[in-house]
């Protein structure tokens, strides 16, 4: 095992706390599942796993130190992430989900549009890459579990991110399935679906504000 058992146990405890605390990645995936079906949320979750793997690889290569020495880089990430979330909010708000299901019967279910899997995957990856919560974790906490005397730092990073992705994906996938079932009920009540769509857009706006006004303490050791 690339990491000692005691270190892995402490790592798991830390990771679980971060994963069960709702953040931009979890909220993004669940909201996609509510609007476009569980499959959309799951593809988004796979994209999130890719984005987190990039963060972990950067940490293993020492590239995450860029934010420590160049706070402006963190500011650029913060502003870019906020702008991206605002764009998602607008796309969600002006979407035609309500119009497309208002005429359907009670047996209708939310479904992912054909050919949109790569789009949801890419959005999930980008969301993870621009998440200040992820940046904070991989700059401040993640390196604490890497031991240069125990072998390749990159191998340790890839091992730990595999553990993170396995737990994170499982949790998000379960939530996406539950969200998809909740959306089935909403489709039977089109007005509820309309307000659900607006609430999801509002969540993205709130996340954008949180990201934009987050201070660069995540970029300090």
**pLDDT score at 213:** 75
The three-state DSSP-derived secondary structure of the chain is CCCCHHHHHHHHHHHHHHHHCCCHHHHHHHHHHHHHCHHHHHHHHHHHHHHHHHHHHHHHHCHHHHHHHCHHHHHHHHHHHHHHHHHHHHHHHCCCHHHHHCCCCCCCCCCCCCCCHHHHHHHHHHHHHCCHHHHHHHHHHHHHHCCHHHCCHHHHHHHHHHHHHHHHHHHHHHHHHHHHHHHHHHHCCHHHHHHHHHHHHHHHHHHHHHHHCCCHHHHCC
> Please, what's the b/e burial string for 34-61 (b: 16 or more CB within 10 A of its CB; e: otherwise)?
bbbbbbbbbbbbbbbbbbbbbbbbbbbe
- pLDDT for position 94: 74
Look at residue 194 in the predicted model and tell me its pLDDT: 67
Q: What would the pLDDT profile of 19-30 be if each residue is shown by its tens digit?
A: 876 777 888 888
Q: What is the pLDDT of residues 58-81, one digit of tens each?
A: 888 877 666 666 667 667 767 776
Here the tokens at position 166 are 């396995």
Q: How many C-beta atoms surround the C-beta of residue 78 within 10 A?
A: 21
Q: What is the pLDDT of residue 86?
A: 83
CA distance 148 to 45: 31
pLDDT confidence of residue 220: 32
As a whole number, mean pLDDT of residues 142-160 equals 84
Identify the pLDDT of residue 217: 42
- Residues 87-139: tens digit of each pLDDT: 877 877 776 544 444 444 444 455 677 778 999 999 999 889 887 777 777 87
Higher-confidence residue: 180 or 217? Answer: 180
Residue 42: is its pLDDT beyond 90? yes
Instruction: Give the predicted TM-score (pTM) of the model.
Output: 0.69
pLDDT at 69: 67
Higher-pLDDT residue of 198 and 214 is: 198
CA angle 194, 47, 201 (to 5 degrees): 20
The whole-number pLDDT of residue 162 equals 93
Per-residue pLDDT at 52 exceeds 90: yes
- Tell me what pLDDT residue 196 has: 65
């Amino acid at each position: 095992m690339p990491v000692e058992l005691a270190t892995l146990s402490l790592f798991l405890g830390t990771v679980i706390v971060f994963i069960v605390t709702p953040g931009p990645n979890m909220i993004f995936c669940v909201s996609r599942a509510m609007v476009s079906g569980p499959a959309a949320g799951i593809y988004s979750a796979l994209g999130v796993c890719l984005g987190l793997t990039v963060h972990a690889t950067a940490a293993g290569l020492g590239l995450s130190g860029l934010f420590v020495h160049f706070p402006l880089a963190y500011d650029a990430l913060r502003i870019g992430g906020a702008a991206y979330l605002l764009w998602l909010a607008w796309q969600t708000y002006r979407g035609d989900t309500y119009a497309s299901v208002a005429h359907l019967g009670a047996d209708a279910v939310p479904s992912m549009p054909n050919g949109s899997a790569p789009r949801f995957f890419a959005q999930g990856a980008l969301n993870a890459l621009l998440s200040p919560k992820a940046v904070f974790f991989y700059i401040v906490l993640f390196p604490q579990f890497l031991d240069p005397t125990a072998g390749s730092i990159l191998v340790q990073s890839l091992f730990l991110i595999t553990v993170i992705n396995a737990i994170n994906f499982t949790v998000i996938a379960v939530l996406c399935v539950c969200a998809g079932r909740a959306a089935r009920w909403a489709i039977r009540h089109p007005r509820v679906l309309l307000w659900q769509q607006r609430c999801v857009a509002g969540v993205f706006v709130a996340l954008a504000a949180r990201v934009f006004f987050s201070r660069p303490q995540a970029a300090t050791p």
